[in-house]
């Protein structure tokens, strides 16, 4: 066999193996797709709690199994159990709210009518200018929309309890993977880094940005959400707003969106209070929302998220909204992560095009995730 024939045969063999590699990888991903949420959160939690696991391993005399098991128990106590308790309380509160709506205890139509009756003359004139003169029809449409929304949301909330088996299975898989990711995380990171066909500087930049975005998005986003939800729920409870826990959880979820977040909940409630004659309560809620709830977002979010991700606020907002729209709750991590990877890869490409290898890792180039 000639040298050219040997080279051709080797090229065919290499191409065939690459096709086999791609096919097997896609098939493996297809098999794991039903549990992608559990796998994603196992990786996210492992990245966040890896520093704690390393400290525990050092204090336990270098016993990785014991350190990983202890870290998993800490995760269960700090994260899983509080989430379960909040979910149970939320389902009970939503069920009670839905029952009151069904029984007619909450008269949305009457509430909307009182709001219209309380409007000042300038507001009524503004409605007339926009052609909203038939307040009865507007009231009926708003009331019907609110009732329909309650009837749609409440069964979805109640279905959480019906999917207990799926939740338990997913949670079990997540905790199981978490143990091994904590125990073998550094070895796995080194293995993945070795097989990625990029230069060392590029891999360092990508791996470092991945860890930064995961830690900043999850830790920062969740801390901001918890703070704003708790502060908003406390204000609603103090003002006697029904279903304060429900609104607190809703504010916490919406707080994952920078800039607009919790204001989508407390601002309409403040307007409702003003329109129904509770002027001081409405003004107090507006001041509290702007100066306290908003201040938490303005102070904590840039410190916890923007500082590490180096993403502008508008990129974080758009990527978070897009991620949630496409992937649901998991998208609030995947969206900013994809945005950060997009920006860092283009930075590396731009630096390589300029022929400056030393600038390919400009900015943060921390250690790869462990």
pLDDT tens digit sequence for 118-150: 566 666 666 666 655 455 555 555 555 555 554
Mean pLDDT of 237-257: 79
Which pLDDT score is estimated for 130?
60
Residue 69: per-residue pLDDT: 92
**pLDDT > 90: percent of the chain:** 7
Dmax (CA) of the chain: 96
Other beta carbons less than 10 A from residue 217's beta carbon: 27
pLDDT at 339 (0 to 100) = 82
Number of Cα atoms under 13 Å in the Cβ half of residue 29: 7
Of 318, 359, 325, the closest CA to residue 339 belongs to 318
Q: Where are the alpha helices (DSSP H) in the chain?
A: 3-32, 36-59, 64-75, 81-103, 108-117, 121-129, 135-162, 164-195, 200-215, 221-239, 244-254, 263-275, 279-288, 294-301, 307-309, 313-327, 331-353
Integer-rounded Cα radius of gyration of the chain = 26
pLDDT at residue 73 in the model: 94
The dihedral sign for the CA sequence 323, 324, 327, 330: positive
pLDDT in tens, 63-73: 889 999 999 99
Residues 326-358 pLDDT 10s: 887 777 778 877 887 787 788 777 777 776 444
**What is the pLDDT, as a whole number, of residue 91?**
74
């Amino acid at each position: 066999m000639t040298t050219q024939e040997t080279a051709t045969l080797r090229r065919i063999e290499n191409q065939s193996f690459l096709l086999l590699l791609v096919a097997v990888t896609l098939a493996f991903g297809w098999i794991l797709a039903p549990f992608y949420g559990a796998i994603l959160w196992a990786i996210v939690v492992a990245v966040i709690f890896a520093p704690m696991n390393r400290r525990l391993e050092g204090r336990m005399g270098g016993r990785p199994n014991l350190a990983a098991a202890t870290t998993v128990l800490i995760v269960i106590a700090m994260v899983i159990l509080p989430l379960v308790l909040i979910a149970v309380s939320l389902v009970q509160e939503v069920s009670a709210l839905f029952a009151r709506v069904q029984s007619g205890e909450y008269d949305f139509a009457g509430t909307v009518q009182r709001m219209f009756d309380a409007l000042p003359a300038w507001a009524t004139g503004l409605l007339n200018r926009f052609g909203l003169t038939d307040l009865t029809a507007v009231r009926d449409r708003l009331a019907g929309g609110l009732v329909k929304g309650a009837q749609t949301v409440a069964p979805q909330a109640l279905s959480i309890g019906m999917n207990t088996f799926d939740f338990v299975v997913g949670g079990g898989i997540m905790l199981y993977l978490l143990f091994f990711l904590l125990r073998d995380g550094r070895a796995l990171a080194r293995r993945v880094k070795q097989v990625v066909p990029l230069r060392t500087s590029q891999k360092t930049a990508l791996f470092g940005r991945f860890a930064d975005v995961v830690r900043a998005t999850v830790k920062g986003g969740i801390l901001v959400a918890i703070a704003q939800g708790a502060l908003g729920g406390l204000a609603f409870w103090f003002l006697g707003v029904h279903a304060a826990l429900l609104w607190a959880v809703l504010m916490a979820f919406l707080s994952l969106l920078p800039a607009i977040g919790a204001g989508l909940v407390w601002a309409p409630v403040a307007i409702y209070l003003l329109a129904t004659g509770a002027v001081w309560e409405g003004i107090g809620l507006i001041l509290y929302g702007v100066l306290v709830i908003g201040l938490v977002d303005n102070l904590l979010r840039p410190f916890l998220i923007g500082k590490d991700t180096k993403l502008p606020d508008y990129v974080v907002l758009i990527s978070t909204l897009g991620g949630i729209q496409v992937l649901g709750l998991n998208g609030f991590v995947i969206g900013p992560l994809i945005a950060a990877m997009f920006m860092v890869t283009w930075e590396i490409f731009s630096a390589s095009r300029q022929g400056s290898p030393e600038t390919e890792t400009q900015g943060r180039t921390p250690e790869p995730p462990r």
